[in-house]
Amino acid sequence: MSRIRNLELSSNWSWKQRETSVESVLDEAGADGWKTAQAYPSEIHVELLKAGLIPDPYLGFNENKVQWIGKVEWMYKCTFEYTADSHETHALLEFLGLDTLCDVYLNGQKILVADNQFQTHVVPLELSSLKPQNILFLHFKSALHLAKKLEAEMGKVRAGSTNLGDPSRVYVRKAQYDWRWDWGPQLMTCGPYRPITLKTYSARLQEVQTHALLSDENAPSLKVDVTLEPAPLDASLRVVLSDASNKTVLKSEDMPVSGSSLASAVAWDLKGVVEPWWPVGYGEQNLYTVSVLLLSANGQTLDESTTRVGFRRVALVQEPLEEPDQYGTGTSFLFEVNGVRIFAGGSNWVPADNFLTTIAPERFRAWLTLLRDGNQNMVRLWGGGVYEPDVFYDVCDELGILVWQDFQFACGVYPAHDSFVASVRKEAEDNVRRLRHHPSIALFCGNNEDYQMVNQWGDVPSLPAVKLYEEVFPEVVAALTGPQPIPYHRGSPYGGKGWDTADPTVGDVHQWNIWGGKEFPYHDYVKLGGRFVSEFGIPSHPEMKTIEYWMDGAGAEQRHAQSALMAQHCRAGTFERRFAILMNDNLRVTEDLETYVYNTRLMASEGVGYAYQVWRRKWGGPGKQYTGGVLVWQLNDCWPVTSWAIADYFLRPKPIYFTIARQLATYSVGVLRTVIKNRSNDRPAQYYEYGNFQSYGATLEIWGTNASLAARSATLELHYVDLKSTWTHTETHAVTLHPNQATELLSIPCPGPPRDAAAPSPTADEQFTTTHTVVAGARLLDAESGAVLARFADWPQPFRFVEPVLLRDPKLRVEVDGATGKVTVSAERPVKGLWLSALGDGADVKWSDNALDVMPGDPQVVVAQGLNGRGVGVAFLGKEKTHKP
């Protein structure tokens, strides 16, 4: 017996376009025209781009010039050597990912027909089929053509809208966003996008399942199940548990192997030996490595498996609420980890590139670190992308980020014929097996918006794929993740009776009635929540640096918000109309591109920040956890684009990123102003003063949130500043923030300047008040040290009614300490939406905070990494173009 040999086929790859005039595809293996592959794993657009044969699809209008690539066929081949070993009796080829329709030939013999991008393919080989010199040949066919062929055979179904790809996509198990989405291009990729490995052996570890368990009393234990192939003679198993520093924690005796499987090869009680794994903010991310060694009679290692685990238990809690909220009673929808109920604040994830092979491990880590540093603790992997590679989940384990994992179905009426169901069952089994050991995995979810769309359309008689969502997936998850199964949720959104995916009293909701749907004002978020908001958002432009990138030197005629090139890089349906509604509701109209870009970013920041604020307020104490989590759409982009992303394709955070970070900090403070109008039929509520409608006054509701598990004594400081006069007012209150919940602090009238100090009123009616020009600032200060725990400034709205003359000269000061990178900002008058940026050329700067509201007497310190001697530019409401302060 000899040690298993793993030969990853990482070199000697070449590619070419299929010549359809050649009758047999195998005849092309030795033909001319093959080009050396420049990357491994490989994707055909990337190869064409590196070879200089296509323009960069991410620039200008170039996406339109490469559509032909998805309509033709492509071929790859790899040559590799094999040296026979007399001790080896078995061989296989393992394909971790083929995109998507691929016939595989080894030395001229077809060994695999693949038609599912999400499956792992393991192909047993006869040793005699391997030669000293071998050719692996891959023939990729057009997913576009197959989709239309199957549609013609089985019928056209509904699948999203025109900006969510061609409906035929539902018939092919390929990443659905490749067909185009409302934030991404249509780029029909193909190629061996994940590693291919030749394994030769006499015996191997076919499957190792680790069960890192945590009891209801948080007592850890470990069970390990092992399957061998074939059943070896005179062999034994050894199991070793190591900590993060590679120190052995526990090691088993060598166990003789008597068959092909060992259930509970070890069953260890680890109380007092290991520590639990916790999500970020709740404890340490303790990780351990389980090594399983298959040993020969003389102690030689034949095969070895290593699995990194964390000891935790996770539950999806859906229980009756004790008291009704504005929606009624219903049930909670929240996550509990190791017995602690956690408010899940986070983001949705889409693939970080259309060309998956270009995403290096460091890029995954950078994205997820950005999420973690933004005080987020959950990421939802949306159902129209891919099951990400192992490194994604490894990083989530390390950073303490909980993962909501959709199965890959999105916005469509998917089929459920026998062959399709069988393919999807294997897809689910492959990926649940691969992911189940990660402590970060908190939920598997059946689909994205399939139930919701059927409800909205109203003309679809059935949803065949309920067989998948309600039978296949829960069966697979339960069978493969026991004895402490990972929770399963059949769809997102899902909850109410009769698939009522908009029921705010049960399950999760996607709240799109602000940007799309009914296009309500964003201040209506306070009325439009639910038990768990798993999607919502407002799009915004990336910064000008990113826009200049996709402009690619375009002329002045393209440099305005409504140009064709700006539209090429904004895929949201009827985006101009929807932007116009939100923008015109809240901000002054402009035709200057830089000002417009700033305004979209401020609008998204204000609207989404407001949603996080009012929904997190509903995380009450036991029995009153009315909203268990909020996940913004979306964290990231797959190409340079205007979208809902809170950081753009180049990982450049938008203002919205920093606003969310403040709302999800351990401590936050919220202010909700309710304006008392002179007419009860005045609408909308957020408009303070206009026309003949005037305010009699306003009340302020003030609350604080505490994500820690201990109560916190604090001082609430309220500072009021009138924009039209010199009047100010300050008051303080002693408060206590209860642990792991929002605490209501005050409900008080909003003060304003006395009439003799205020600006002249447009009316003589003494009932009218002067609060409509007052900025109300709130700070939570540590009760002992006075350190600022949280701050928030509530401004009069809409911003378009705030006179520009009141905004343009706030006496802003920006002081830069070049040695430490500290930037101190202060102002004599209130500043809204202060955006800091580096002046001049150079690498991107990492800001510890940004998009600031600055109040007089409250200087704020920001750390800028990478400023490297450059000056700091500013932009803010009233002076939206970047300038030197």
Residue appearing with tokens 């499957």: 207
Query: What is the 3-state secondary structure of 60-90?
Result: CCHHHHHHHHHHCCEEEEEEEECCCCCCCCE
| Listed range (157-161, 314-318, 372-376, 427-431) with the worst mean pLDDT | 157-161
Let me know whether 758 and 827 are in one domain.
no
Considering just the CA atoms, what is the radius of gyration of the chain in Å? 29
Q: What is the CATH number of the domain that holds 669?
A: 2.60.40.10
3-class secondary structure, 514? coil
Q: What is the CATH number of the domain that holds 583?
A: 3.20.20.80
Let me know whether 178 and 218 are in one domain.
no
Let me know whether 183 and 235 are in one domain.
no
Active-site residue, from 63, 151, 388, 449: 449
pLDDT (tens digit per residue) in 557-579: 999 999 999 999 999 988 989 99
Let me know whether 572 and 553 are in one domain.
yes
Let me know whether 145 and 16 are in one domain.
yes
Last residue of a domain, one of 635, 657, 679: 657
Q: Which residue spans within 357-487 are E strands per DSSP?
A: 378-381, 402-406, 441-445
pLDDT score of 692: 66
pLDDT score of 776: 97
Domain containing residue 882: 804-885
Could you tell me the two tokens for 708? 């820690």
Last residue of a domain, one of 150, 169, 198: 198
675 part of a folded domain: yes
pLDDT (tens digit per residue) in 717-771: 999 999 999 999 999 999 999 999 999 999 999 999 988 777 665 555 666 788 8
531 part of a folded domain: yes
pLDDT score of 766: 64
Count how many domains the chain has: 5
Let me know whether 228 and 334 are in one domain.
no
Classify residue 793 by burial, with Cβ atoms within 10 Å: 0-12, 13-18, 19+: buried
Let me know whether 707 and 607 are in one domain.
no
pLDDT score of 684: 63
318 part of a folded domain: no
Is 449 a known active-site residue?
yes
426 part of a folded domain: yes
Let me know whether 187 and 231 are in one domain.
no
| Listed range (31-45, 93-107, 218-232, 666-680) with the worst mean pLDDT | 666-680
Angle at 199 between CA 203 and CA 407, to 5 degrees: 105
The set of residues, in sequence order, having a beta carbon less than 8 Å from that of 774 and lying 6+ positions away, is: 720, 721, 722, 723, 750, 751, 752, 753, 796
The set of residues, in sequence order, having a beta carbon less than 8 Å from that of 694 and lying 6+ positions away, is: 677, 678, 763, 765, 768
Let me know whether 214 and 173 are in one domain.
no
Let me know whether 430 and 395 are in one domain.
yes
If phi > 0 it is left, if psi is from -120 to 50 it is alpha, else beta; for residue 786 that is left
Let me know whether 464 and 583 are in one domain.
yes
Angle at 621 between CA 618 and CA 627, to 5 degrees: 30
pLDDT score of 46: 98
- Given a cut of 70, is residue 686 above it in pLDDT? no
316 part of a folded domain: no
317 part of a folded domain: no
Could you tell me the two tokens for 503? 């029921």
In this structure, are residues 529 and 326 in contact, taking their beta carbons and an 8 Å threshold? no
Last residue of a domain, one of 774, 802, 830: 802
Let me know whether 394 and 523 are in one domain.
yes
Residue 200: strand pairing partners: 5, 91
CA distances 568 to 3, 62, 112, 650, Å, are: 54, 10, 39, 18
N-terminal to C-terminal alpha carbon distance within the chain:
74
319 part of a folded domain: no
768 part of a folded domain: yes
